[in-house]
Amino acid sequence: MQSVVQVEPLTTARALRGPFDYVRPEGAEVGSLLEVPFGRQTLRAVVTALADSSPHELAVPRRVLPEAIPPELVALGLWMAREYCSTPARALSLMLPPSGVRAKAQLWAEPTAAGRDPGPEVRLTDNQRALLAALPRFAGTDLGALRRLEKRGLVTVAPRDRRRAPEHVAVGARRDPPVLNPEQEAAVHAIATAGPGERLLLHGVTGSGKTEVYLRAAEQTLRAGAGVIVLVPEIGLTPQMIARFVDRFGDTVAVLHSGLSQGERYDEWRRLRDGEARICVGPRSAVLAPLRGVGLVIVDEEHDGTYKHEGDPRYDARLVAQRRAELSGGVLVVGSATPRPESVHALRRIRLAHRADGARLPPVQIVDMRATAAGTVLHRRTHDALVDARKAIVLLNRRGWSNFLTCRSCGHTWECPQCDVTLVLHRAEGAMSCHHCGHREPVPRACPECASVSLARHGTGTERLEHELARIAPVVRLDAGVANPGEALQRFERADRAILVGTQVVAKGHDFADVDLGVVVDADGTLRFPDFRAEERTFSLVTQLAGRAGRGGRAGRVLVQTLDPDAPSIMHAVRHDSDGFLEGELQRRRALRYPPFATLIRIVCSSTEPGAAHAAAHAVRTAVDAAGGAGDGAMLLGPAPLFRLRGRERSQLVIKGPDRYAAIEAAGVAAAAVRAAKAHRTANLSVDVDPQ
């Protein structure tokens, strides 16, 4: 009899790490959530293992709480803690429903045998008869009347959990899904016959019908008695994907997203944990859904940056998805028209080379901006094409009116007081705003240095572009500044003639039937970021935007405005040549030892105290060196200063290591040593394995 539980107390304190032994209470298993005495406090704690005995004197847990998680999530949490240099408590906390919320009990009224269909001899008013006929249901405002019937033995009234999450109702498409084309058929077959823990990449051109493949694969998995997790980039921007799953599977689907109230979230979590719902659709955190026996994990639009979590642990939901599938013997399927070089390198690839409706991919043309006057936003050709178009999507990856303001007399620029970046002008709001910390101030009338009122605006963002486009056709803008993206998308979908303008969100997986023009403004803008993913991002952005045009039977075309028409990422995107792009990109990465040929770990130190961030980063470097490095062939880059953010100086050290586990181990040990050192107590350290 295993009479001891080992637990991880759920605390954010890094130093406080389990496992700690307690007496095993009745009903406690691996995954149980307990309340345990801990010093003078009471903490919640997750059982991570059972044991026969313990060398310690054991305390008795106070309670077993109802929010147990499946054992496979315990294993996943412990793995995440190691993989991302975090703590078991922080990782396990992510798997629990919101704390402080309980199932919501309400009074449920049911007829007794006597109350079911009472004969005419039973004296009842018409109202009472109507009330009885409507049972069973929650009591609500009729409680008084029901209680009177209860006294007469016709009704029972008792508390019952009431679901707050909305019911998912299947409509329409469930009855007649499309007949799969041979490519889709082959993809579904490949998934169905994949072995436990196998990892597949569904590389299908835009509009090739990947969603239908996911739906069929999910159906097979459910039939085999296993559960399904479907990850999507951002719920607000991918309503179609959710709609298609709900439409096909109804209330078997639970949707987890940030728009739910705490109570709704709790209820969806419970439905998954208790096996009432067998498919979970949601953003990255849905990879931690409490389903048992997951047979299939799908990651749609796997190239999307939102799969990386920015809290602690800084997990990558794509890697966690892979681990999750492995732990339960399920299959991982990631899909994209523009997969990451990492996935192409590591996963078995299935291709969908054609659009599902048989249409061709739209022709893409370069519009060379080198000869146009500086400050021109739209080339004449682009302008004319927009005039001719019925529905167009225009992508510009910069928000606001203009990027920055300068004084024409003295050259003063407006910067954020908290961060070393310029403030962006948002004209409609009459504000200058920092896109890093959210600082806002009114638009200046005059220069604070020289009092000149001659101010120059530089650069163009989506707000100014919207203004220009409004002369051509009705405009819908979509970017992070728009309050309700779902509503904006609907407005565009319903319009007869319109231009959708916005940042990268306009390129995300939308399936509009009648877009006949796509435009990328400043396509090389993303290439100017000093980041090894700049090429990948640029290729993906142009290809994804191009993919929104010419769907649903209407011919479409795409124009790409750029100052750098010879950049390989742009040239390959123009030719729809993802193989060529991926091949070149993997060669480049191999030569420069970037992922997937090495693991990157970014350690960022920050402090409000001058010099402290750099000193801490330097100390991390010294600690790694002193411990013999970060594995064979590893390189340390930095410390290098980063721009000041939210009033904190920052300095970063990058570890580039071919031996992943040696690099992670070295980073974890060095960061722990520096965190513990008194000399660096004002510095904050964040360790980011596989930075986005």
Ligand X SMILES: Nc1ncnc2c1ncn2[C@@H]1O[C@H](COP(=O)(O)OP(=O)(O)OP(=O)(O)O)[C@@H](O)[C@H]1O
Q: Which residues are annotated as a binding site for Zn(2+)?
A: 407, 410, 416, 419, 434, 437, 447, 450
Decide if residue 416 touches Zn ion (CB under 5 A).
Answer: yes
Question: Count of CB atoms within 10 A of residue 472's CB?
Answer: 17
357 binds, among Zn ion, ligand X, none (CB under 5 to 8 A by kind): ligand X
Closest contact distance (angstroms) between CB of 461 and ligand X is: 26
Query: 435: how many CB neighbours lie within 10 A of its CB?
Result: 19
Min. distance of Cβ 604 from ligand X in angstroms? 33
433 binds, among Zn ion, ligand X, none (CB under 5 to 8 A by kind): none
Task: Indicate which of Zn ion, ligand X, none lies near residue 178 (CB less than 5 to 8 Å, by partner kind).
Answer: ligand X
Q: How far is the CB of 512 from ligand X (least distance, A)?
A: 9
Nearer to Zn ion by Cβ, of 160 and 436: the residue is: 436
**Stretch in the footprint of Zn ion (CB under 5 A) among 414-422, 533-541, 613-621, 632-640:** 414-422
User: What does the alpha-carbon distance between residue 251 and residue 265 come to, in Å, rounded to a whole number?
Assistant: 15
Q: Which is nearer to Zn ion, 441 or 487 (CB)?
A: 441
Spatial CB neighbours of 523, under 8 Å, sequence gap ≥ 6: 538, 541, 542, 560, 561, 562, 564, 570
Q: Which residues pair with 345 in a beta bridge?
A: none
Q: Smaller CB distance to ligand X: residue 336 or 402?
A: 336
Residues 6+ apart with CB under 8 A from 265: 97, 98, 101, 165, 256
> What's CA 680's distance to the chain center, in Å?
33
210 binds, among ligand X, Zn ion, none (CB under 5 to 8 A by kind): ligand X
Using CB under 5 A, pick the residue from 434, 520, 567, 615 that binds Zn ion. 434
Q: Candidates 347, 419, 505, 506: give the one binding Zn ion (CB under 5 A).
A: 419
Indicate which of Zn ion, ligand X, none lies near residue 418 (CB less than 5 to 8 Å, by partner kind). Answer: Zn ion
Bridge partners (DSSP) listed for residue 518: 393, 558
Angle at 254 between CA 276 and CA 329, to 5 degrees: 75
Q: Which does 400 bind (CB under 5 to 8 A by kind): Zn ion, ligand X, none?
A: none
Segment 442-471, which members bind Zn ion (CB under 5 A)? none
Nearest CA among 396, 654, 394 for reference residue 531: 654
End-to-end CA distance of the chain: 47
Give 397 or 578: the residue with its C-beta nearer to ligand X. 578
Q: DSSP per residue over 10-38, as a string?
A: ----TT----EEEE--TT--TT-EEEEEE
Report whether 632 contacts 665 (CB < 8 A). no
Which region among 35-43, 194-202, 419-427, 651-659 touches Zn ion (by CB under 5 A)? 419-427
- How far apart, in whole angstroms, are the C-alpha atoms of residue 657 and residue 673? 20
In whole angstroms, how close is the CB of 686 to Zn ion at the nearest point? Answer: 18
Partner from ligand X, Zn ion, none binding residue 547, C-beta < 5-8 Å depending on class: ligand X
For Zn ion, which residue of 437, 443, 571, 586 counts as binding (CB under 5 A)?
437
CB of 108 to ligand X, least distance (A): 41
Minimum CB distance to ligand X smaller for 247 or for 479: 247
Nearer to ligand X, 181 or 538 (CB): 181
CA distance 212 to 244: 9
Structure tokens at 102: 């309980």
- For ligand X, the closer CB: 457 or 557: 557
Q: How many residues lie near Zn ion (CB under 5 A)?
A: 7
- Residue 550: name its binding partner from ligand X, Zn ion, none (Cβ under 5 to 8 Å by kind): none
Beta strand 424-426 pairing with 404-407: unpaired
- Distance of alpha carbon 529 from the chain centroid: 22
User: Are 362 and 603 a contacting pair, CB within 8 Å?
Assistant: no
Nearer to ligand X, 68 or 217 (CB): 217
Separation in Å, CA 311 to CA 119, 150, 314, 436, 650: 64, 52, 5, 16, 17
Among 210, 355, 439, 508, binds Zn ion (CB under 5 A): 439
Nearer to Zn ion, 424 or 653 (CB): 424
Q: Residues 338, 303: contact at Cβ < 8 Å? A: yes
Binding site feature residues: 407, 410, 416, 419, 434, 437, 447, 450
Among 383, 436, 590, 675, binds Zn ion (CB under 5 A): 436
Sheet of 440-442, strand order: 424-426, 431-433, 440-442
Given Zn ion, ligand X, none, residue 181, with its beta carbon under 5 to 8 Å by kind, binds: ligand X
Residue from 418, 608, 684, 686 in contact with Zn ion (CB under 5 A): 418
553 binds, among ligand X, Zn ion, none (CB under 5 to 8 A by kind): none
Which residues here bind ligand X, judged by CB under 6 A?
Answer: 178-181, 184, 204, 206-212, 337, 356-357, 509, 511, 547
Compute the distance between CA of residue 691 and CA of residue 663 in angstroms, rounded to an integer: 14
User: Can you name the residues that pair with 297 across neighbouring β-strands?
Assistant: 229, 332
Complex with ligand X: residue 95 or 395, whichever CB lies closer: 395
Binding site for Zn ion (CB under 5 A): 416, 418-419, 434, 436-437, 439
